[in-house]
Amino acid sequence: MTTAKTIARRLLEAEAVKLRPENPFTWASGLRSPIYCDNRVLLSYPTIRCEVLDGFVELAKRFENVEGVAGVATAGIPHGALLADRLGLPFIYVRSSAKEHGRRNQIEGRLENGKRYLVVEDLISTGGSSLKAIEALRAAGGKVAGAVAIFTYEFPAAARAFEQSEVLLATMSGYGALLEVAVDQGHISSEAATTLAAWRQDPRTWSETFTRSGS
């Protein structure tokens, strides 16, 4: 089994991912989504946590001259810290915005100008939080070697956003592999997988269509 499918299987085993095409979740934006992903759950399973860390180490090998690791708050912090420890590299993390008290830091830890940081996130949806963190790192004088994550929804818009920001992104697993494993293991039917695949291509239209149908 490929790494992508192995990680997808782990996500399903730990119930970090839930699939509900017939009764979608509602995101903070109001959009309806047939999938919910919370990779924080993986931290509670030592064996899976180690597998994920091994996966991050392998992804890190794809990037040249990595001199530090930067976790994206909050879910990217523990995975980033574990990776930095394994690689023997400095670790920092980036908040979504600067604190409103104290030193008003957005970046915690000691960022060194000109050093190349590997950005660690747990999940890539639109890519907004990761790219915002990358922008903050660059503004503070750091350089970005690339970005890594456990899982991506594989939204076409997210891929374009990383390309436009000139950031190489590598993930352990993605939406396509998850659907394959979910069908193979009987979590969903082939018909449900078709519905889920349509959502990935255009989440907003899928959500609006589901809402109009009165489901």
Which residue would you say has higher pLDDT here, 74 or 2? 74
The annotation status of 103 as a binding-site residue, yes or no, is no
Each residue of 102-161: pLDDT tens digit? 456 899 999 999 999 999 999 999 899 999 999 999 999 999 999 999 999 999 999 999
51 is in an annotated binding site: no
Q: What does each C-alpha distance from 204 to 41, 153, 164, 193 come to in angstroms?
A: 27, 14, 22, 18
126 is in an annotated binding site: yes
> Known binder of ligand: residue 195?
no
Helix residue ranges per DSSP H, the chain: 3-13, 46-60, 76-87, 128-139, 156-164, 175-184, 190-201, 203-212
- Report the SS3 class of residue 189: coil
For residues 172 and 151, is the Cβ–Cβ distance under 8 A? Answer: yes
Tell me if 208 is assigned to a ligand binding site: no
Architecture of domain 3-210: 3-Layer(aba) Sandwich (3.40)
| Token pair in block for residue 202 | 């255009």
Q: Does 121 belong to an annotated binding site?
A: yes
Tokens describing residue 105:
């830091």
Place of tokens 């600067």: 98
Do the beta carbons of residue 57 and residue 83 sit within 8 Å? yes
Q: Is residue 127 marked as binding?
A: yes
Residues near 89 by beta carbon (within 8 Å), at least 6 away in sequence: 66, 67, 68, 69
Query: In a 3-state reduction of DSSP, which class is residue 17?
Result: strand
Residue type, position 91, single letter:
F
| 115 known ligand binder | no
pTM: 0.93
Q: Is 90 helix (H, G, I), strand (E, B) or coil?
A: coil
* Domain ranges, ordered by start, for the chain: 3-210
Q: Which helix (H) or strand (E) holds 73?
A: none
Each residue's pLDDT tens digit, 179-204: 999 999 999 999 999 989 999 988 98
- pLDDT digit string, tens, across residues 86-102: 999 999 999 987 654 54
